[in-house]
Chains A and B, each alone.
Chain A
């Protein structure tokens, strides 16, 4: 019986395992050092905030794995020997594989800041990071101030976590508005205002220069590039993530930033595949980046690779881009592409509610009026409807006219679509 070994029990690895089991009888082994059972990393923040206990983040009951004949190995892989088709574990055990799936995920980016390895400096990617956080910042007496570096999704989550325990937060971001590398300026500024309204000391266009230690080797303060000294007991490093691939450096698998894969998610070595955050596409798909550290991408790569492994060679061919997040109280969804600045020949339509918590940005082609993508804030939208609209190349006028058909808000919620339509019509008239 063919033995499939999966390194990493995140969403990518586990989805691959589940789908291989659905399609076949192959022997499946998942190796992870992080946790015995699969849990949803996206939910780590809720454990710290006290919304959930850790066991609530585990989507399957513990007997699920044995029932589905998926072997779990709680260990660390230190090397992979592709010639002998073997992985070596820290415990000294070797596991032979017929096919190997690398789904090792990512680690926090560190850019060589002085003091970046001090006690009290960390990112938030793994369960171990969360355990460390409980030591460094259990409350606002041990941690009198936290500094968070980097204005991305993990940064704002960490800020929300700290705020839930009344720990004062200084949040340094390089850009002029929150996540403005991705969000158009009006959206970015709205989120910046929202973050500040939760008493977060958000400092834009500011970067960290170095971290200063106290006598015991713990963080004492940081110095910003503008020269400000901010005393703090915790520094959250949230300047993006990079693939976790060091253990493969002496293997024959081709690496760049991530593990190089072709469109079938196969690495340079036969029978070795990589999926999720750690995989780097040789040829990016459409407008997508070669490495996508996105939960949904991990899930979908797992689905696609399971087909290939089970004898139905399937290219990694994702559908229309989508993503979502929540910034404190504002939910964000995006379908299709909305660039921070409209691409050439494109334009943005912005609408914002007076409450400063709801907004829509639509990107469209000026000449053909083709709908390119939408960002929504505080308004829930139906994935399926936008998928169809994007596939059928609907116009921006059609989309704005029919927005209410894509609404996924709960019953009795106020629907702002009339106002959005009016604003759109007015702007079109002015432009015409």
Chain B
């Protein structure tokens, strides 16, 4: 609905001012934040550990207390009262303030870590990052970095807002269990395990490795420093590298076949975790227009192609011309392997692999692709193959004409930093909580293709019970116009659906259900709404085909 009717002034008022408990909770959170601000401005705080603890405890207890005050006195059920009247959740003044604050934080975090107090060239950390040193030493025996600060705050956000989410949806077991899962994976897999792993081995660092972070979301998996770091660590490192590859080629497709991409996007992924918990108040802001849908499909798949090209370029750049792979350290070869992966073999393999995947989709799933998706797929395949072909004919060292380093840093800057961080999270209060997942995440694009083409997952609609009220579409964070399917009685099989289950939760008539079922009849475009006598049902069904 791109062109809204704007002439109606159905404006309500926020239901009420903050209660006393809510005020105290807000104050507590603000004091916690204020400690971080003090540290940011280099106020010298003694007993850093105590101040850090105080700050994190105040922030999280503030969030949790506020959530309790909001939901615990109300009966369990959907509580979206006044969402569109509240300034923060309807792109009002405070929404913009928050967006600008978050965006600024991300810009500083990614591009100006020195501002946060990151010590360079062996200097000790100061400021905000210095405040986090005690916790970092506790976990891994090293000083903190900007990413450690970010990881800690990220985890605190998912845990506290996760509790808020659970309180809000406590009547809904699916939401409660799913949120518990997201909180668990963030705390252990994304935060504690990698930090502790990095700290365990002091002589030869095991790399910081988030096992659940799959390429291409983990776009540095195949970078030389990472591969080398894994390889020099012997069998454990090798296992991790193989696990990383198996995740992409085996584990991910199998899980997506069985459960849809939701197993990752809504149950495991950290980006999804933050979106679902801290971002829940903004889910209604995602754009549902067909225009936005078109942009989404072209953008997210372009990012995927960009990620493939960038990764191929990077791997190509450090592979040997002959079959000996050497790991260099300080100018000397520390290890060498005999390998099949020479530059040429690798490129041929990539070309053949992509062609096979394309051919399989074209042969078995062609009819499920829309016209523009077919054009896009052909276009993308030929772009990549043309690059590879030209490379062989021109015989330069640089893959794809440009310096692989430039592609890599462009990818890291544009996608890794600007898109996923600055816009993806910073713009929660403006674009909705899943802008990154929807428009930018290459992992979501891959899983989405799998989900659309061969998954058992779908959202089914209940006969003729839909009343077209629009709650499902409004609260879909991925901008899917769920209602347009529900009111036709069609199953919802969309590449972008992350299976958060909120459409089913907010439906006042119980019309939507997330299901894993047989592949036959999954895309039932001829489904009709029930209610008529059988003859007319058949007529309606014929006419829909």
A residues near B, CB below 8 A? 11, 19, 22-23, 36-37, 40, 42-43, 46-59, 61-63, 130-131, 134, 138-139, 164-166, 197-198, 295-296, 299-300, 303-304, 307, 312, 314, 317-319, 322, 324-326, 328-329, 331, 333, 380-384, 387, 391, 408-414
Contacts and interface: CB of A to CB of B under 8 A. Distances in A.
The 8 closest A-B pairs by CB, nearest first: A383-B463, A329-B77, A380-B510, A43-B469, A55-B4, A412-B173, A50-B82, A164-B81
Size bracket of the B interface: 35 or more
Nearest to B5: A55
Among A22, A61, A166, max chain B CB count under 10 A is at A61
B536 A40 contact: no
Contact of A59 (B11, B15, B468): B468
A62 B532 contact: no
Interface stretch (B96-104, B117-125, B501-509): B501-509
Given A134-B10, A197-B75, A322-B465, A54 B510 contact: no
Interface in B499-538: 501, 504-506, 508-510, 513-514, 529-537
B539 interface: yes
Given A51-B80, A300-B532, A130 B10 contact: yes
A122 to B, nearest CB: 15
B464 A322 contact: yes
Nearest to A131: B10
B504 A383 contact: no
B471 A46 contact: yes
A408 B83 CA distance: 28
Contact of A324 (B12, B468, B510, B534): B510
19 contacts: A19-B543, A43-B468, A50-B85, A52-B84, A52-B471, A54-B5, A55-B4, A62-B3, A62-B5, A134-B11, A134-B12, A198-B75, A299-B529, A317-B533, A328-B77, A329-B76, A383-B465, A384-B463, A411-B501
Contacts of B508: 326, 331
Contacts of B484: 59
Contact of B509 (A37, A198, A324): A324
A57 B8 CA distance: 13
Among B174, B484, B506, B508, max chain A CB count under 10 A is at B508
A22 B544 CA distance: 8
A421 to B, nearest CB: 21
Interface of B: 1-5, 8, 10-13, 15-16, 75-78, 80-86, 171-174, 177, 289-290, 462-465, 467-471, 473-474, 483-484, 487, 501, 504-506, 508-510, 513-514, 529-537, 539-540, 543-544
A59 B77 CA distance: 25
A381 B474 CA distance: 24
Contacts of B531: 296, 299-300, 318-319, 322
Nearest to A23: B543
A54 B82 CA distance: 13
Given A40-B468, A408-B510, A61 B1 contact: yes
B5 A36 contact: yes
B469 A57 contact: yes
Contacts of B75: 197-198, 328-329
B539 A138 contact: no
Given A42-B467, A51-B84, A411 B174 contact: yes
Contacts of A413: 172-174
